[in-house]
Amino acid sequence: DAGVIQSPRHEVTEMGQEVTLRCKPISGHNSLFWYRQTMMRGLELLIYFNNNVPIDDSGMPEDRFSAKMPNASFSTLKIQPSEPRDSAVYFCASRLGRPDNEQFFGPGTRLTVL
Amino acid sequence: QQPVQSPQAVILREGEDAVINCSSSKALYSVHWYRQKHGEAPVFLMILLKGGEQKGHDKISASFNEKKQQSSLYLTASQLSYSGTYFCGTDYHYGGSQGNLIFGKGTKLSVKP
């Protein structure tokens, strides 16, 4: 079975450019999470979807960040414009069913903004 | 609110034991434990639920003290493969789940031969 798929795996861009990160959850999973990981702040939840609907976006740092889930098999996280402080590893995770089930993490996208 | 993990780092020899703690200032519905190896994604270890139910790894044990709002992960007879950073994730909604997790900053465990 394919796990959570993220693309690209690495992204290097210049300040001010738009960045789009992509995620394909495990087939059949109904919850999807976007996290950001940095040394300073650890693993932070950015946004959480349930059945394609955003449930909690309180972790989205500012208006430059937006996330969509147009269908059950695809989600995007967009940063526009990007800034050097956005440099981090971005993980997508998916979960099946109940909140007390495990989350499966994708391999992450390492973003570097110059 | 982010849970607090302790210690921040621990170094063990193979075969030694370790305990990693996770404390919250708010009432918890559940605690989830994940391990992340360098350059990889976090991987699920276990879930501890309010009321005592546990789900997860059969070689790692953990406890959840609801009154004290804390959880501990017990790594016994450690192996080299246990090395990595351990994260607890807390689900805060007392009486029912919010469905999302707030992770601690992690405990880095290094097991030496």
pLDDT of residue B43: 94
* Rg for chain B, CA atoms, rounded: 13
User: Which tokens hold the place of A92?
Assistant: 């997508």
pLDDT of residue A110: 98
pLDDT of residue B12: 95
Q: Is B100:B2 a contact under the CB 8 Å cutoff?
A: no
- pLDDT tens for B20-68 read 999 998 888 889 999 999 999 999 999 988 777 777 766 788 988 888 8
- What confidence category does residue B94 fall into, taking pLDDT thresholds of 50, 70 and 90? low
Q: Which amino acid is at A60?
A: M
Q: Nearest Cα to A1, choosing from A24, A21, A22? A: A24
Q: Which of B35-44, B64-73, B75-84 has the lowest mean pLDDT?
A: B64-73
Q: Is A33:A103 a contact under the CB 8 Å cutoff?
A: yes
Interface contact B76, partner A, CB < 8 A: no
Chain B environment of A103 (Cβ under 8 Å): 32, 44, 101
pLDDT of residue B5: 96
**Measured between CA atoms, how close is B21 to chain A, in angstroms?**
17
| Interchain pair B44, A103: CB under 8 A | yes
Q: What is the dihedral of CA B72, B69, B44, A99, to 10 degrees?
A: 160
- What confidence category does residue B93 fall into, taking pLDDT thresholds of 50, 70 and 90? low
CA B63, B82, B105 angle in degrees (round to 5)? 65
pLDDT of residue B97: 59
pLDDT tens, per residue, chain A with 114 residues: 689 999 999 999 999 999 999 999 999 999 999 999 999 889 999 999 999 999 888 889 889 999 999 999 999 999 999 999 999 999 999 999 888 788 999 999 999 999
Chain A environment of B49 (Cβ under 8 Å): 100
Chain A environment of B101 (Cβ under 8 Å): 33, 45, 103
Question: How far is it, in rounded angstroms, from Cα B22 to Cα B106?
Answer: 9
pLDDT of residue B1: 80
**Measured between CA atoms, how close is A94 to chain B, in angstroms?**
11
Interface probe, candidates A103, A104, A109, chain B, greatest B C-beta count within 10 A? A103
pLDDT of residue B29: 83
| Interchain pair B97, A99: CB under 8 A | yes
- pLDDT tens for A80-92 read 999 999 999 999 9
- Nearest by CB to residue A102, choosing from B41, B44, B87, is B44
For A62, residues 6+ apart whose C-beta sits below 8 A from its C-beta are none
Chain A environment of B53 (Cβ under 8 Å): 100
For A16, residues 6+ apart whose C-beta sits below 8 A from its C-beta are A81, A82
Question: How far is it, in rounded angstroms, from Cα B85 to Cα B38?
Answer: 8
DSSP secondary structure string for all residues of B36-96? E-TTS--EEEEEEETTS-EEE-SS-EEEEETTTTEEEEEE-S--GGG-EEEEEEEE--TTS
Interface contact B47, partner A, CB < 8 A: yes
CA A68, A41, A50 angle in degrees (round to 5)? 30
DSSP state letter for A98 = S
